[in-house]
Structure 1
């Protein structure tokens, strides 16, 4: 790595930080809101073993956003259109894990290819193109924050309504179906909520790094507890720390927010993994042989 001071100033430059901090209250609120929503839905993503689906939806969200950008329309609407379309398609066609993964494997390169095509045809500002991939939280204005907040309320309300049956269906779908839980109906409902969350995340951290908000928090939480109450609470806390911390660090640099968010998320995961390993009871020699 270079020892040139200019290199480090591009990553951590806190000159005039106080003045800049007063200008990004929308970004901090957006980061906290996304942390809450991403942390909540992350628990179900892990319970339902759907990290791959998150990546697939993000690629179609990227394609929708870049297509609307090319047409001069709202990038937010384009991202929502792509995410919801992908989520509903995966939810409708992928009833089994193998089928779902096959569908996602087909959709991902298609969505990414479309997004690259649309961006290559776009002749506007390079920052708009780059931001769709790597995030641009500094660009959150009041209308954008209002949309983000409205979608967040929809997602959180939806999760609260279906929380108990969705938890049951996610942990033991066969028994849940036998008890009369509408397992098949819950799948597209959850996919719709997931699609909305991914669309919001793409606007903030970019299409390539959505997993750091919608997967990593719960993956970390599950390393230290198996409590159905503590997992979502810890997941939300981890996601909020990553988003708000990443926003504060990005403010004093010249690089996008995504490296900071992903690094904080990864460090939290490593710490939780170490803590979980230290707390795990030692396996006896007899148990190891068994």
Structure 2
């Protein structure tokens, strides 16, 4: 299996995706932004469609759209009372634009399928290098702001009382999340990217009691889901996103059973 270059690329890209998703997912869950990850996945679809329309790499279009939109959500949604409405409005616009760009580009159904559900075969070595650069950039920024991000995510009231720059921190986090969505959508697809950014971390919180342990467990769950999903996809020729979704859902329900037994 690993003798094929496309599977080598898929496993390298999948490993990067799992690590980034596991780390970012812990803060997504802590900040109650699961709904936003779903919205950014739809925005990523519009960005990829725009990239195809312009003759770019889909990843470049995703980065453009998700980054601009995340900053917009951060500014428009500064007040919690209007955050959901802002996200809904941007999401609706993104879906409409994605359909429009695909129509104007005269792309066949395989392009749309690849954007929505990911494509193992479509991952090239150049894509892997680009994803590696983006992943390292995200990790470096997370390491730099980790202490402040942890404080703001798990104790937002205390962060405000201490005078932490919460609004700027929120925008930075949203941009990092946009990068993570764009990176992960290459394999999982823009439609299902929220799975890796929510379920591993949601399951991890039942097994760990510190932020560091939650990140470690979430990354482990993500890695198992991606690696096993790629293998099963290769063996069966079924979509890799299906297997990743099933595996991560099983992890989550196992966590619920574990919590019930402990209680």
How does the TM-score come out when normalised to structure 1?
Answer: 0.86
Q: Is the 8 A contact 1:20 1:251 kept in 2?
A: no
Residues paired across the two proteins, number: 263
Match of 1:191 among 174, 186, 191: 174
Q: Which moved more, 1:86-95 or 1:149-158?
A: 86-95
CA apart distance, 1:19: 7.2
CA apart distance, 1:20: 6.3
Q: Distance in 2 between matches of 1:169 and 1:71?
A: 39
Match of 1:33 in 2: 16
Match of 1:144 in 2: 127
CA apart distance, 1:32: 0.8
SS at match of 1:25: helix
Pairing 1:229–2:218 present = no
Match of 2:162 in 1: 179
SS at match of 1:137: coil
Q: Distance in 2 between matches of 1:173 and 1:59?
A: 28
SS at match of 1:82: helix
CA apart distance, 1:22: 6.2
Question: Deviation string for 1:142-198 (max 9, x for gaps)?
Answer: 100000000000111111111111111112222212223211210101011001001
Q: Distance in 1 between matches of 2:250 and 2:58?
A: 31
Match of 2:231 in 1: 248
Match of 2:26 among 25, 40, 43: 43
Q: Distance in 2 between matches of 1:198 and 1:126?
A: 22
Q: Which moved more, 1:30-39 or 1:111-120?
A: 111-120
Match of 1:126 in 2: 109
Match of 1:167 among 145, 150, 165: 150
Q: Distance in 1 between matches of 2:213 and 2:176?
A: 21
Q: Distance in 1 between matches of 2:197 and 2:71?
A: 18
Question: Deviation string for 1:2-37 (max 9, x for gaps)?
Answer: xxxxxxxxxxxxxxxx47656511110110110000
Match of 1:257 among 234, 240, 254: 240
Match of 2:77 in 1: 94
Q: Distance in 1 between matches of 2:163 and 2:2?
A: 57
CA apart distance, 1:42: 0.1
Unaligned runs of 5+ in 1: 1-17, 281-290
Match of 1:288 in 2: none
Alpha-carbon spacing, 1:19–1:192, altered in 2? closer, same or farther (3 Å): closer
CA apart distance, 1:95: 1.6
Unaligned runs of 5+ in 2: none
Which has the higher Rg, Structure 1 or Structure 2? 1
Match of 1:283 in 2: none
Q: Distance in 1 between matches of 2:115 and 2:3?
A: 23
